[in-house]
Amino acid sequence: MYLDPDVAALGPDAGEVGVREFREIVGASAAPVKARIMDQHALAGVGNLLADEALWQAAIDPRRAARELSHDELGALHRALRTAIRSAIRQGGVHTGVVVAHRTKGGHCPRCGAEMARATVGGRTTWRCSREQ
């Protein structure tokens, strides 16, 4: 925990970064895309639940190397992340995301009904749709 964090060490705000800069920041990394978007030095403000929500909305496997994402996939992820952030602000928190309640053993994708799959990415538990992601 930091009592007086150096905010200069943080990346741009995930809710404010433009799509071009987002593609440069995220798309240049060999790390799994979930780990990359959660790296506060690269992009500030994305936690575990928000990352799962945005990746689910964009139908992108969180385990994929970020640099393997296409130009269009990075654009879709940027849009999904901004949408998820705005929704969380309006609804009162990231726990209100569409996929969040389905992130459990036996959970099913609210979009297609496939079973949710659990994995570990960047040291964090991640949930994804076993069919669409």
pLDDT digits (tens, 9 = 90+) for 72-89: 999 999 999 999 999 999
**Among the CATH numbers 1.10.8.50, 3.10.580.10, 1.20.20.10, 3.50.50.60, which is that of 9-97?**
1.10.8.50
> For the residues of the chain, what is the DSSP string, one character each?
--SS--GGGS--BTTT--HHHHHHHHHT--SBHHHHHH-TTTSBT--HHHHHHHHHHTT--TTSBGGGS-HHHHHHHHHHHHHHHHHHHHHTSGGGSTTGGG-STT-B-TTT-PBEEEEEETTEEEEEETTT-
Q: Any idea where the domains of the chain sit in the sequence? A: 9-97
The Cα–Cα gap between 80 and 53 comes to: 8
pLDDT digits (tens, 9 = 90+) for 114-127: 999 999 999 999 99
Confidence (pTM)? 0.93
